[in-house]
């Protein structure tokens, strides 16, 4: 919407609080893809991700209307933190830690990673396979480890930002990343997967 060109997410949120529903529509339009991708990456099930996405926005609306948002310049972080809490609530409701099988809709291979090195086709194929293997290894990680890897490498967030969004200390975020990398290396070694890019 050209009407909101140059208006920050924070300003849109505050405009919605003052009664401008179109400001919220614009805010939803700007944030929905990134937020849904994050939720989907963590829960790996389209229907569950859809439910959590809707719950996140319902909670965001309630919090906005209750004046629980102040312009801190970090609306996206605030929204992601709500989504994170909704995801954790969903996991707590599960009686057992069940495994969701990947399908065409939630396959991590659909996430766009960095382009392989443009040297020659053979090297490109090797590098593409390495990236596919890394994403498969990430699928085997526990949700908290998968989440921190996604935020760090796919959303390019600092560990301080990750800690803020997930409500844990920086040391906990770093610890989760450390264990994620250890687990990925162990799984790769057990399955004789070579993760080195060629160039």
pLDDT digits (tens, 9 = 90+) for 108-131: 555 454 443 344 555 566 656 766
- Buried b or exposed e, range 161-190, using 16+ CB within 10 angstroms: bbbbbbebeeebbeebbeebeebbeebbee
pLDDT above 90 coverage of the chain, percent: 31
The SS3 assignment for 144 reads helix
Spatial distance between the Cα atoms of 31 and 61, rounded to a whole number of angstroms: 14
Q: Is the pLDDT of residue 68 over 70?
A: yes
* pLDDT, position 49: 93
Mean pLDDT confidence for 156-174: 89
Mean pLDDT confidence for 174-186: 86
* pLDDT, position 175: 87
Spatial distance between the Cα atoms of 110 and 8, rounded to a whole number of angstroms: 30
* pLDDT, position 29: 92
Spatial distance between the Cα atoms of 13 and 115, rounded to a whole number of angstroms: 35
* pLDDT, position 98: 53
**Pick the residue with more confidence: 167 or 109?**
167
Global pTM exceeds 0.75: no
């Amino acid at each position: 919407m050209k009407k909101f060109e140059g208006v920050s997410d924070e300003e849109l949120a505050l405009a919605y609080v003052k009664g401008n529903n179109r400001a919220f529509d614009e805010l939803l339009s700007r944030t929905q893809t990134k937020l849904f991708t994050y939720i989907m990456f963590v829960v790996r099930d389209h229907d569950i991700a859809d439910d959590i996405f809707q719950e996140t926005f319902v909670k965001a609306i309630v919090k906005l209307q209750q004046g629980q948002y102040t312009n801190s310049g970090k609306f996206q972080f605030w929204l992601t933190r709500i989504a994170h809490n909704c995801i954790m609530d969903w996991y707590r409701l599960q009686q057992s830690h069940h495994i969701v099988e990947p399908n065409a809709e939630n396959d991590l291979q659909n996430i766009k990673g960095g382009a392989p090195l443009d040297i020659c086709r053979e090297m490109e194929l090797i590098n593409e396979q390495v990236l596919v293997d890394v994403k498969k290894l990430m699928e085997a990680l526990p949700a908290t480890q998968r989440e921190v890897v996604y935020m760090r490498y796919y959303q390019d967030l600092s560990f301080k930002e990750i800690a803020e969004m997930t409500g844990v200390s920086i040391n906990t975020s770093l610890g989760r990343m450390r264990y994620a990398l250890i687990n990925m290396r162990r799984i790769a070694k057990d399955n004789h997967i070579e993760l080195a890019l060629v160039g």
